Structure 1
Amino acid sequence: MKLSNYKHLQRIYVYDSIQLIKSYSEKRIVSIGELLNDYNGLTIFYSLEKIKEKVKKENIDFIDISSLVEIVNFRSDMILQVEILFFKLAKFYDGNYCLRSDCAFILDEKVPFIFKKTIPLEEQKERLEAEMDEIDVKSISEIVDNINSELIGHDIFKNDFKKNLLKYSFLNNIGNRKILSILICGESGIGKTEFAKIVSKKMYPNEDLIKINFGNYSTEGVLNSLIGAPLGYKGCEEGGELINKIKKSKSKVILIDEFEKATPSIYNFFYELLEDGVFTDRHGNRHDLNGYIIIFTSNMTQEIYQEHIPNSLRSRFDMVYYFENLQYDEKNYYIQKNAKKLINELEQNYGKKVNYKNIESELARLVVYENLRDIKRKIEDIVFDEFFSKYF
């Protein structure tokens, strides 16, 4: 297969001014030299696995190949090596390539069959902005509406969430905001954790939600549990829970549950992460979480929040909300929706139909409860009591 048959090798973007490059987020454009291990004058050394890991972690949009093209200008015997390198990159990297305009004629002369078309980078910038207007506003609005339709109640929060996610999309696209952080407080069982599950399911439907529960950690060594122990310590080779789960799931939604049990070392950790979108583990490895949504949940009251969470961390949350207990009509809707859903699933899987009318009045009495988890279990009990009557 010819290299030019790869869609993302059809074109390369050419720039005149370094200022144009700097106008993009620092992590979106890297030099090809950052991806290579070494060059000894005869051979280019590189590890495809390391390159693959780097472009994935850092969300790279452009690879600048100017330095490599300059080498080829003086070393024509290296053309084959360069062509092979691009052939291998094309197997896993589907981002863009860019080049200084003064190197464009060298590319056309020395390796004319890799890229079929050169485009000024300014045109790429305009295309990205046009896509942002279409995708971020239309598609993201639709996703948020689907998320909000799943979450029962909390209407003020849902309206604010839509505005903040849209704003974040624009700011993230121009490199001004790396992470969207949301802290939701309130009593247990009123939708805090459920919201995070809905967001992950709607945005990344085939991926597991990345969930960290600080209630499972002891106060001693909590940071080690999160991002791994330092070299030389017991368990240092295992990594931390956050790192391991990020590697396993492509979801970019992280749930931090029971945040009230965090320690000062955890606060310090999130200072860097929420501000810069990156964190460094105990082995010195840098992890880029640009584009992630982190949802913190806690049972803290407003008074405890003010006393317990440092000002420097409070200022880094994009949204802070307190979920109140659902209203009567909201709980009634929740009960009806979940009961009918369970009835339908039982019929589809076991072929036995539960008559909703037979249990409607009993279900209606569940509105006196506040905890949605308790309500959901009681819905199951009522539905199954009627379901089991089909067998006896």
Structure 2
Amino acid sequence: MNKVIVYYGPKKEFEKLILDVNMKTITQIAYESDLRRRELIVKAENTSLEYKPEHIENFVAYSDDYSGINESVIQNFISFISLYDINNLYLHNPPLHIHKQVEKTFKQLEVIYYKYKAVDVKKIKEFNYKFPNHIIGQEQVKVEILTSLYPLVRKSSKKPIVLMFYGPAGVGKTETAKFISSILNENLFRKQFSMFQNNEFASYLFGGSHAQSSFAKELLDRESNVILLDEFDKANSLFHSAFYQLFDEGVFEDKNYKLTISKAIIICTSNYKSENEIREKLGDPIFSRFDKVIEFNTLSNEAKQKIIELQLQNQYSMLSNKEKELIDIEYIREKILSISSRLNNVREIEKIVQDIISLILLRNLLSEE
């Protein structure tokens, strides 16, 4: 075999390594192997039948492929590929079973880890400059985040920064995580913990069969080193132990995968009202692992007015020229400002701006003959 590469990181970067289009994936090969095995059974009486291994220029296994193949192929991977004449082997985020077999078999093995974008002085300054125009009404949050992120600038610090954002819904917690990821020009890795029930969450965190989704596998596939664990408080405390080593050292391991993340920003969110409530509900073992607990305040009237203005500008800009002629933006502004005290968060403001504009346009449409 000429080349054996194990790559850990996002799929789009892995694909850049495979220059030759003459390739077959492990799912294609497994399917064809099953068909050929059936043919051999049918032809078993032909004693002159000779086996000639198929030549494969580039044998490729994507991260998603492992869930679609038989468990025995994963457990006996080297035996499986020995049935073929392979020039180059490319493995994307393989399970531990496969990595160990390949590492033991091939001396020319090359392991490549994707380098995620790092926080540096330039990014710190960009965050400081742009934050007030992206996250309205949370001025105190900016300094706390900057203080927390600065250790990542130092080359000696590789431990993930773990932050807990808490406060009312819709005041900027998730948007702040998205903003940090955008500063690094990467797609945010986001998991919504409220979507998991206890039974499925156990296998998701600790690993089930290779056919099941898992937190470890999705971490390997991620495109960003900004990791958002939304509604972290919804995870049963029974599962907090799964995060201890990740928060402490950046290491996460289940029964099928093991990975290390370096210089990551891990953001947990909750709707708790105080640090004391977080400590009481989550418990000291997980609370003590947050590098900083940052409060997002209820929006002030001034903040609401700024958000109303931004939402008006954003949604008005998306209208066609004909639609803009039908919209009296001053009338809408005054109408929404008059009820701003009853609006609690960004989502409510966005919705009412959208509803009023849509209602005006709908009335005009229905009045046309």
SS of equivalent to 2:247 = helix
Q: 1:242 aligns with which of 211, 215, 222?
A: 215
Q: Which residue of 1 aligns with 2:259?
A: 287
Q: Which residue of 1 aligns with 2:180?
A: 199
Label 1:348 to 1:251 Cα distance change in 2 as closer, same or farther (>3 A): farther
1:224 aligns with 2:203: yes
SS of equivalent to 1:374 = helix
For residues 350 and 299 of structure 2, the distance between their equivalents in structure 1, rounded to whole angstroms, comes to: 14
Range with greater deviation from structure 2 (141-150 or 339-348) = 141-150
Q: CA deviation at 1:336?
A: 0.6
1:153 aligns with 2:137: yes
Q: Tell me the amino acid that sits aligned with residue 255 of structure 1.
A: L
TM-score (norm 1): 0.60
Q: 2:351 aligns with which of 355, 374, 377?
A: 377
1:178 aligns with 2:186: no
Q: Which residue of 2 aligns with 1:320?
A: 293
For residues 292 and 280 of structure 1, the distance between their equivalents in structure 2, rounded to whole angstroms, comes to: 16
2:192–2:229 contact (8 Å) kept in structure 1: yes
1:339–1:383 contact (8 Å) kept in structure 2: no
Q: Which residue of 2 aligns with 1:276?
A: 249
**Percent identity of paired positions between Structure 1 and Structure 2:** 24
TM-score (norm 2): 0.63
For residues 366 and 251 of structure 1, the distance between their equivalents in structure 2, rounded to whole angstroms, comes to: 39
1:223–1:265 contact (8 Å) kept in structure 2: no
1:352–1:390 contact (8 Å) kept in structure 2: no
1:168 aligns with 2:152: yes
Q: Deviations over 1:241-296 (max 9, x none)?
A: 4334334431222211121122234211111001110111222x211221221111
For structure 1, list consecutive stretches of 5 or more residues without a partner in the other structure. 1-36, 38-45, 55-81, 96-131, 230-235
Label 1:178 to 1:378 Cα distance change in 2 as closer, same or farther (>3 A): same
1:146–1:202 contact (8 Å) kept in structure 2: no
Q: CA deviation at 1:214?
A: 1.7
SS of equivalent to 1:220 = helix
Q: CA deviation at 1:147?
A: 3.8
For residues 224 and 247 of structure 1, the distance between their equivalents in structure 2, rounded to whole angstroms, comes to: 17
For structure 2, list consecutive stretches of 5 or more residues without a partner in the other structure. 1-77, 79-86, 95-106
SS of equivalent to 1:238 = coil
1:340–1:356 contact (8 Å) kept in structure 2: no
Q: Which has the higher contact order (CA 8 A, sep 6+)?
A: 2
For residues 191 and 261 of structure 2, the distance between their equivalents in structure 1, rounded to whole angstroms, comes to: 15
CA RMSD of aligned residues (A): 3.3
For residues 336 and 171 of structure 2, the distance between their equivalents in structure 1, rounded to whole angstroms, comes to: 18
Label 1:93 to 1:349 Cα distance change in 2 as closer, same or farther (>3 A): farther
Label 1:186 to 1:349 Cα distance change in 2 as closer, same or farther (>3 A): farther
Q: Deviations over 1:107-132 (max 9, x none)?
A: xxxxxxxxxxxxxxxxxxxxxxxxx9
Q: Tell me the amino acid that sits aligned with residue 194 of structure 1.
A: E
For residues 348 and 382 of structure 1, the distance between their equivalents in structure 2, rounded to whole angstroms, comes to: 18
Q: CA deviation at 1:177?
A: 3.7
Label 1:249 to 1:286 Cα distance change in 2 as closer, same or farther (>3 A): closer
Q: CA deviation at 1:158?
A: 0.9
Q: Tell me the amino acid that sits aligned with residue 162 of structure 1.
A: L
Kindly tell me the number of residue pairs found equivalent between the two proteins.
266
Label 1:289 to 1:386 Cα distance change in 2 as closer, same or farther (>3 A): same
For residues 89 and 322 of structure 2, the distance between their equivalents in structure 1, rounded to whole angstroms, comes to: 47
1:357 aligns with 2:330: yes
Q: CA deviation at 1:200?
A: 2.1
2:123–2:183 contact (8 Å) kept in structure 1: no
Q: Which residue of 2 aligns with 1:255?
A: 228
2:189–2:223 contact (8 Å) kept in structure 1: no
Q: Deviations over 1:143-202 (max 9, x none)?
A: 4432443111111111111222122221xx21x342111101112222222222222233
